[in-house]
Structure 1
């Protein structure tokens, strides 16, 4: 059939994945970055929506059920998909973003501040010289310190 698709909607039951896809600010570790960039190349972040795990037909079989007890939603999807888009469950992205704040796949900003002045070094040297009574003891203490 030569019917052009006007708009697609993609569904996921993972709020953290949804937050990854819709995020522009945070940087992720390599595996997540590669997957998210592939998804974003082929779709827009606003095409992605959240479906609750209980309404996700893909989860039915992963929870374990017999062939006789497979629900109708597994064959034709959740019932809200047969309704108008305006009646679909709303997305609450704040929850997804909050989850991402504690996620291990998000790269953390690490900043190290080092302040070193000649004055501070000189004071440390003076303290060591005053503490040891001979040059030999000072040299021995410094060699142990450098070894550690």
Structure 2
């Protein structure tokens, strides 16, 4: 801490070296654009929800947030909102901390990013990676606003375990309706009959009372919970399956395939999940770094008696 404070004081003497260009060299006929960048906070609402609210005219179900959004849309009707990847956002320079010597040589902080000078059609348009976003957190926040919880529970209070479970099964329902729509119709109308081309053929699947497609299995008399005995079925091509595998691998403390597989099947039955689990473990940076390297010991040369040809029984010892 003392060393950091000393370095900070040394950087203060370089403040006079920082110069800001005040004259923009513009004429009355030219058009100016103002671009503002911000950095998301871990305690703030998810950026994907906020951007959706700003682009939408549908109420979110909470009067406080509705007032904020309508006020922003009224005073800034022509604002274009977008998401910029972290590595291209100049705001990260300040939010993550930077030395003054580094800041003075950073053109993006004083002049804006280079991509801003190009055509707007070539500007970065980031699509969030669901493998790195806590989708359950986002869905739980949205469901809390939609369900209008009692006023005794603050809107921005921590999400409970039950809300996380509701959010997970909401994602499961959407995933199954997208990937197993024909199978859901066949199970409900033909008493469990599935076509031969169905990926669920050969599985003991059924639809529970709330509409979730589950794997029957042979653990009906087990002491496990209902969700562990009858896990929901997911397609390996769905992002929810990748999130389940990531969660299970962390839950298994980056264990090998078998330990990760046990946690996966207790959460969801993934079609073709074994290949996805193995691929995830092979790509895991933590597991790759923790792999022990075999020690290669130098082999000593053979003794002279082993490499010299002599007559038989010459070196016999009594």
> TM-score, structure 1 length as denominator?
0.53
- SS in structure 2 at match of 1:47: coil
Structure 1 residues 61 and 25, CA gap change in structure 2 (3 angstroms): same
2:117 is the counterpart of 1:79: no
Task: Give 1:36's match in structure 2, choosing from 69, 91, 108.
Answer: 69
Which residue number in structure 2 is paired with residue 135 of structure 1?
none
Cα displacement (A) at 1:74: 0.6
Q: 1:11·1:48 contact (CA, 8 Å) conserved in 2?
A: no
Bigger shift: residues 9-18 or 39-48: 9-18
What are the residue-to-residue correspondences of 1:1-148 with 2, within 5 Å? 2-3=28-29, 14-44=47-77, 47-70=80-103, 71-90=106-125, 92=127, 100-103=138-141, 107-109=145-147
> TM-score, structure 2 length as denominator?
0.28
Which residue number in structure 1 is paired with residue 294 of structure 2?
none
Structure 1 residues 5 and 35, CA gap change in structure 2 (3 angstroms): farther
Structure 1 residues 64 and 29, CA gap change in structure 2 (3 angstroms): same
Alpha carbon RMSD of aligned pairs, Å? 3.7
Cα displacement (A) at 1:37: 1.3
Q: Which structure 2 segments of 5+ residues have no match?
A: 1-26, 40-46, 149-318
Structure 1 residues 10 and 58, CA gap change in structure 2 (3 angstroms): closer
Q: 2:37·2:91 contact (CA, 8 Å) conserved in 1?
A: no
Cα displacement (A) at 1:82: 0.8
RCO higher in structure (CA 8 A, sep ≥6)? 1
Q: Which structure 1 segments of 5+ residues have no match?
A: 111-148
Alignment size in residue pairs: 109
Alpha-carbon separation, structure 2, partners of 1:83 and 1:46: 19
1:66-107 residue CA offsets vs partner (Å, 9 max, x unmatched) = 1111222111122110111111123548x79x7753325962
Cα displacement (A) at 1:29: 3.1
Q: 2:53·2:69 contact (CA, 8 Å) conserved in 1?
A: yes
Alpha-carbon separation, structure 2, partners of 1:31 and 1:19: 17
Alpha-carbon separation, structure 2, partners of 1:84 and 1:104: 35
Q: 1:27·1:107 contact (CA, 8 Å) conserved in 2?
A: yes
Cα displacement (A) at 1:64: 0.8
Alpha-carbon separation, structure 2, partners of 1:7 and 1:77: 12
Structure 1 residues 49 and 2, CA gap change in structure 2 (3 angstroms): same
Bigger shift: residues 76-85 or 18-27: 18-27
